[in-house]
Structure 1
C-alpha cells in the first residue's frame, strides 16, 4: 500500500507560533489528500519541521515553500537534498516577478509599432530581392545547361495557370464588360453621348481592366496555390530531400511556375479584354440599340493600337509579381501547418498590392511617353 504524507501541528507557548511537523514521503503520489488538509490550517505557524521526511520531490518542495511563504514559517531540520529542492523552487517563484511586462505610454507605443513595421517591410523587401536574385541565377544556370530545364513542368504549370483559368476569367470579364457598358451608358446619356460607350468599354478593358482584373484573379487562384504547394513541400521536407539528391528547388519548382505565369498572363489579359468587349457589345445590343457587330467594328476604329500594347506590356510584369510573391511566401514556411495558411494569405495580399502599385506607375509612365 502506498505511503501517504502525514503532518502534525504542535501548538507552542502563548504568543509563539505552532510547529508543523511532516513525516513520511513528500512526493507527488503521496501529497494529494494532505495538500487539501494543509489548506484548511488557520493557526499561525512558526516552524516547519522536516526531520521525519523520508523522501521529497519538486511537488513536496513546492508545498513546503508555499507554506513557508504564506505563513512566514521557518523551515527547520531539512536534509541537504530537500534544501536544494526548496531553494530551487524559491528562485523560480512566479509571484516574486511580474507576469505581464510594463505597458509603455501611448506616445511611445505608436512610434515603436510603426518603427517595427517599417523595419519589417525593409527586411522583407531585401529578402524578396534576394529571392529574385536566386531566381535569376537559376535561370542563368538553365540557360547554360538547357538539358536541366523541365519542359514538362513548365507545360503543366501553363495548363494550371492559363487553360484551367479560362472559364472563371471569361465569366468575370464578361460581367465586368457588362457593368462598364451599363454604368458608362447611364452617365453618357446625360450628355447625349451614348455612342461613346464603345470607346469607354474598348479602351478601359484593353488598356487597364482586362490585364488588372486578370492579375488579381491569377493572384488569388494561382499565387495562393504556389504558396500552399511549396509551403506544404517545405513542411514535409520534400524540398530538403530534393537538395539532398542534388536537385535545385529553384530550378525544379520555382522557375517553371514563374515562367508559366509570365507566358500565360499576356494571353489571359488579351483574352479577358476580348471577353469584356463581348460583354459590352452584348449589353449595348440589348439596351443601347447598337448592333453587336457594329459595336465590334467600331472598337477597331476608336481604340488606338498602342492601348493593346500597353496591356500586353504590363501583363508579363504582373505575372512575374504574382508568381514571385507566391513562390517566395511558400519557400518561407518553416514551422507548422498554420504558417502555410498565413503565408498563403500574405502571398495574395502582397501580389495584389504590388500589382495595383505597379499599375499606377505604368499609368503615369505611359501617359508621360504619349501613350495616354
Structure 2
C-alpha cells in the first residue's frame, strides 16, 4: 500500500535428507533481488522454495524464483494464487529472441526493393494529385462564398513565411554571392578574364541560384512547419473537431498557407537576388578593385530581362509546391507524435526533390523558347 514501509524479505535455509529448502518471509522485491539470487545459488539440489510467508513479490523477485525453477528444477511450495499467476506470466515472457539471419543481397531482392520503392513513389504522387484536386475544389468554393475567406489567417502566414524568413535568406544569398565571385575569380584568373566574374555573378544569381536557394530554405523552414502544425492538429483531433462543426480543414488550414507561399516566394526571390548581387559586388570591389558603379553598369549590360523574368516566374510555382507538399504530409499524420517527425522530414525531402525537378523542367522549357 502507498505510504506503508516495505518489509524486506528474510530468508531461512534448512538442510534435510531431501535437499535444501529456502524459505522467504516479507517482501521479495527488487531491493533484495541480488541478495536472494546469491543465497539461492549457494544452496544445493534438489532445491525447495517456500513462499508461504511472502507478503509481496514484484516482477524481479518472480524472475529470480522462475530462474531457479527453470535452471535447477526447484520445487515451489506455499505460493498463493496471485504469486503463481505472476510466476506463470514471467515464464511465458521467458522466450528466446529469434534472430533472423541477414539475407544475402542478390539481384531479385534488389529488384523487389526497387519495385516497392517505385510503388511507394507512385502512391505518393497519386495521393498528392488527389490532395491538389481537393484543394482546387475548396478554393472554388471560397470563390463562390467569399465571406468564408480567412484574411487574418493569410496575413499571419505572410509574416511567418515571408517577413521572418528575410534574415536567414538574406544572409545565405549574400554569402552565396561572395562564394560565386571568389570561385569564379579564381578560375577566370587563369585566362586573365577576372572582369567576367561580374557576368557569372549576375546571370547565375538572377536566373537560377537566388530563386532555387530561396525555395530550398522555404521548404526547410516553412514546409516543415506546415507539416508539423497540421500533423499535431490531427493527433490532437482538432481537425476532426473542425469537420464536426462544419469547417473545412482545407479551407481553414491549407489554402491560407498556399496563398501565403505563392505570394511571398516572388518577393523573397527578388530580395535574394538583390542580396546575392550585393555580396558579389562587395567581393569584386574589395578583391578585384572593381568600383561599385562599374559593377552596376556591367550588371545592366550582361543580365537580360529574361533572366529576371525566369527567376520571378519560377518562384510562385516553387512556393505552391512547397506548401502543397507540407500540408499534404501533415494531413497524412496518424497514430502518435513520432509520425509527426517522420512526415515533417518527408515533407522537406519531397519539397526539395520536386523543386529541383521543376527547376530542371523550367531550364529546358525556357531554353527551348529562346530565353537563353
TM-score w.r.t. the length of structure 1 is 0.77
CA offsets 1:106-139 (integer angstroms, 9 cap, x no match)? 4279747666655554544444344333323322
Secondary structure of 2:105's match? helix
- Residue 216 of structure 1 corresponds to which residue in structure 2? 216
Match of 2:264 in 1: 264
1:242 Cα deviation from its structure 2 partner: 2.2
Partner of 2:3: none
| Maintained 8 Å contact 2:175/2:276 | yes
Matched, 1:102 2:108: no
CA gap of 1:175–1:90, structure 2 versus 1, over 3 A, is: closer
| Equivalent position of 1:39 in the other structure | 40
Report the CA distance shift for 1:240/1:290 in structure 2 as closer, same or farther (over 3 A): same
TM-superposition CA deviations, 1:252-298 (whole Å, max 9, x none)? 11111111101111222123223323333343344445443343334
User: SS at the partner of 2:99?
Assistant: coil
Pair 1:11-2:9 in alignment: no
Equivalences for residues 62-101 of structure 1 within 5 A: 66-72=67-73, 85=85, 88-89=88-89, 92-94=92-94, 97-101=95-99
Counterparts in 2 of 1:151-166, with a 5 A limit? 151-166=151-166
In the TM superposition, what whole-angstrom CA distance separates every residue of 1:76-110 from its partner, at most 9, and x where no partner exists?
9999x68984894486151xx32143222342797
Q: Which residue of 2 aligns with 1:178?
A: 178
Name the CA shift for 1:246/1:280 in 2 (closer, same or farther; >3 Å). Answer: same
Give the 3 Å change call, closer, same or farther, for CA 251–73 of structure 1 in structure 2: same
SS of residue in 2 equivalent to 1:43: coil
Alignment partners' CA distance in 1, 2:38 and 2:301? 96
Give unmatched runs, 5+ long, in structure 1. 13-17
| 2:327 equivalent to 1:327 | yes
Does the 8 A contact of 1:227 with 1:328 survive in 2? yes
CA distance in 2, matches of 1:209, 1:62: 64
CA deviations over 1:41-100 (Å, ceiling 9, x no partner):
5332287899x8999989698776544432235679999x68984894486151xx3214
CA distance in 2: counterparts of 1:21 and 1:195, whole angstroms = 94
Partner of 1:234: 234
Q: Give the superposition deviation at 1:28.
A: 5.8
Q: Tell me, in whole angstroms, the C-alpha distance in 2 between the residues paired with 1:10 and 1:227.
A: 71
1:243–1:249 CA contact under 8 A, matched in 2: yes
The answer to whether the Cα contact below 8 Å between 1:57 and 1:85 also exists between their aligned partners in 2 is no
Match of 2:308 in 1: 308
Tell me if structure 2 keeps the 8 A contact 1:184–1:200: yes
Report the equivalent of 1:253: 253
- Matched-pair contact (CA < 8 Å) for 2:177–2:278: yes
Q: Deviations over 1:151-176 (max 9, x none)?
A: 22112212322233334323333332
- Distance between the aligned counterparts of 1:122 and 1:306, measured in 2? 35
Q: What is the root-mean-square deviation in Å for CA atoms of aligned residues?
A: 4.1
Is 1:200 the counterpart of 2:196? The answer is: no
User: 1:45–1:230: structure 2 CA closer, same or farther, 3 Å change rule?
Assistant: same
The 8 Å contact of residues 9 and 20 in structure 1, kept in 2 or not, is answered as: yes
Structure 2 stretches of 5 or more lacking a match?
A: 1-5
Specify the SS of the correspondent of 1:268: helix
Q: Residue 276 of structure 2 aligns with which residue? A: 276
Is structure 2 residue 364 aligned with structure 1 residue 370? no
Scaled by the length of structure 2, what TM-score is found? 0.77
Relative distance call for 1:250 and 1:7 in structure 2 (3 A) is farther
Change in 2 beyond 3 A, CA 1:155/1:85: closer
How many residues are paired up?
A: 362
Kept in 2: contact 1:58–1:85 (CA 8 A):
no
Q: Which has the larger displacement, 57-66 or 228-237?
A: 57-66
Q: Tell me whether 1:139 sits opposite 2:139 in the alignment.
A: yes
- Is the CA contact (8 Å cut-off) linking 1:19 and 1:49 kept in structure 2? no
